[in-house]
Structure 1
Amino acid sequence: MSRLFGFDRGMPLDRYYIEKFLEEHASCITGRVLEVAGDSYTRKFGNDFVSHILHVDPSSDTATVTGDLSRPDSLPEALADCFICTQTFNFIYDLAGAVQGACRLLTPGGVLLATVSGISQISRYDMDRWGDFWRFTTRSAERLFAESFGEVVVQGYGNVFVAKAFLDGLSVEDVADAGLLDFYDEDYTMTIGIFARK
């Protein structure tokens, strides 16, 4: 139906889970909030915040912070109370470095709200620019982030129906019964939310 994750049909199915995860942790999206490439989720779910935008490209018009997550020394220390980092770690080869970079950006007690893909097609846009390297399980995500953060809680989302629909490029609007989206089958994890406190 779509090779664009369903963007051309409506809201992509993974975005439904990303927004659900962020809404569940909206109370953490406050103070100095950093987000990757834009601040749409900060504005949608945040409260009483100062917005910062991280981009790896120094020519970005929207970035307030430029740096490479996989090179922690390129990043400011203790910049944010909350760091929203959705669908980013899949596209960074040096995962351990990137997680350390995310931790460096946070104040003591600060919270990382990250999402990563489990079951997904290749993102051609990212593959052709910097690479599409990883898919995760809840266990791999928990173990990876626990190496740098004191508290880590992961939440999986998806089921076989949604995974197949997502691979076909269907959108949220294509699913007649919204209840099918909220049933979670851990053997078909499509999206993973990661709450990590420094």
Structure 2
Amino acid sequence: MSQQYCTSTFIRRTGGTTQAVFGWSQRAAVPLSSPMQLAILECFVQAQTLASGYQIYQEWQTQPVGIELSTLGENLLLKIMQNEIIYLTQGFPSYLQPEQQVNLTDKLPLFSPYPAVNLPEFQATFQQLYELGLIVPAVGQINWGDVRRWAPVCAITGFSRGTPIDRYYQKQFLQTVGDKIKGNILEIGGVAKDREFYDLNLAQITTYRCMNIEAGAGVDFVGDAHDPNMVMADSVDAILIFNVLEHCYDPSCVIDNIHQWLKPGGWCLALVPTAQRLHDRPADYWRLLPDGLTYLFRHYAQCNLYTYGNTLTVLATFLGVAMEELTLQELATQHPDYPVIACVAAQK
């Protein structure tokens, strides 16, 4: 049986611009500048397969529109989902107000005439829309495969299969902010093997000390970052705190202490998981999302946010899939609503 699909998107028309927009999302709008894109999106209101979509495209190619969209106003928001095209008369607030919705499904086509295309061209544009998430598998058509399971493929976040995905993204962050790791360095919560993984520019570093709540290899002194007296004020050039704030019962206190310990102009580099299984050492209190993370640093002179991840890598992280099992393109694609980690470089 052929794979079945449907359109799932919002389309906004403002003046002469048409975009796919994402309600209640941080994702940027996607311009739909090609008439073929709009044509295929409305074809899959009725079509279910690639073959039937191409057939409907050909049938509607020269048909007159069922209604001139310009008659509905300058600013137009359409919901194309569940085999319907709905005009949301008051924008996104109308999504939950049926009396503010106008069903235009029986007016199709709305975007004809269509440009003439052959099947390979149709398939190429269809694939583009599918990769953008504007066309999706129909209900009941998702191929779950090995993902349909009760337990992860690796219970230790991917270490048994290769490099955990969050570690790959951590390396990306370190490459971006590595120039700030210089002078007297304090790492909170790290151990010796972490320092080796970071691959820092040792020529920039005068001293490197590690504070942890437990003694161990690479730990220079035992202490709790909630205690402001653990480190002398204005004494550190850069402080690293990676995968630690979720274990702090009062992360705001810790960030304020770091501000006190940093020299003027010093940097705090922080990383938190936003998509990771619970882990119990010493306790797992929070998942700080990007807005919450930046709020913690609101008293710093500047705060730069970095997020890494997408829908696929979030799912893979929860399953314990290693980064080596994904392509570089799959890892590099960023979706602001689905970060695996959130990072901050904040200056005192």
- Give the structure-1-normalised TM-score: 0.89
Instruction: Tell me the distance in 2 between the aligned counterparts of 1:73 and 1:52.
Output: 16
Query: Residue 321 of structure 2: which of 170, 191, 196 is its match?
Result: 170
After the TM superposition, which of the residue ranges 71-80 and 155-164 deviates more from structure 2?
Answer: 71-80
Query: 2: CA distance between counterparts of 1:9 and 1:156?
Result: 24
- Residue from 51, 57, 66 that aligns with 2:222: 66
Following TM superposition, by how much is the alpha carbon of 1:130 offset from its aligned partner in structure 2, in angstroms? 2.2
Deviations, residues 44-92 of structure 1 (Å, cap 9, x unaligned): 12342121111223x4453324321112133322232111111110111
Does residue 196 (structure 1) correspond to residue 323 (structure 2)? The answer is no
| Moved >6 Å (runs of 4+) | none
Q: 1:56 to 1:79 in 2, by over 3 A?
A: farther
Q: Cα offset for 1:183?
A: 1.1
Q: Structure 1, residues 5-54: CA drift from partner, whole Å, max 9, x if none?
A: 00111110001111110110111111111123235168612342121111
Q: Taking CA–CA contacts closer than 8 Å with sequence separation of 6 or more, which of the two structures ends up with the larger relative contact order?
A: 1
Name the residue aligned to 2:200. 45
Aligned to 1:20: 172
Q: In structure 2, what is the equivalent of residue 56 of structure 1?
A: 213
1:69 is paired with a residue of what secondary structure?
Answer: coil
Between the aligned partners of 2:330 and 2:197, the Cα distance in structure 1 is 27
Among residues 214, 217, 234, which one is paired with 1:78 in the alignment? 234
Q: In the alignment, what sits opposite 1:118?
A: 274
In 1, the alpha carbon distance for the partners of 2:257 and 2:196 equals 21
Matches within 5 A, 1:129-144: 129-144=281-296
8 A contact 1:153–1:195 mirrored in 2: yes
In structure 2, list runs of 5 or more residues that go unmatched.
1-152
Unaligned stretches of 5+ residues in structure 1: none
Mean CA deviation greater in 182-191 or 77-86? 77-86
Question: Identity, % of aligned pairs?
Answer: 24
Q: Matches of 2:168 and 2:191 in 1, distance apart?
A: 18
What's the CA shift string for 1:148-193, capped at 9, x where partnerless?
x221111111000000001110011111x11111111011111011
Counterparts in 2 of 1:178 and 1:136: CA distance versus 1, 3 Å: same
> Which amino acid letter does the alignment assign opposite residue 178 of structure 1?
L
Q: How does 1:146-165 map to 2 (within 5 A)?
A: 146-147=298-299, 149-165=300-316
Return closer, same or farther for 1:79/1:8 CA change in 2, 3 Å cut-off. farther
SS of 2:238 mapped into structure 1:
strand
What is the letter of the counterpart of residue 44 of structure 1?
D
Choose 1 or 2 for highest CA Rg. 2
TM-score (norm 2): 0.52
Provide the rounded CA distance (Å) in 2 between the counterparts of 1:132 and 1:120.
Answer: 11
Shift of 1:131: 0.7
Question: Is the CA contact 1:115–1:194 (under 8 Å) kept in the aligned structure 2?
Answer: yes
Q: Distance in 1 between matches of 2:246 and 2:312?
A: 23
The worse-fitting range, judged by mean Cα deviation, of 79-88 and 30-39 is: 30-39
Residue 32 in 1 paired to residue 184 in 2?
yes
The farther-off stretch of 98-107 and 151-160 is 98-107
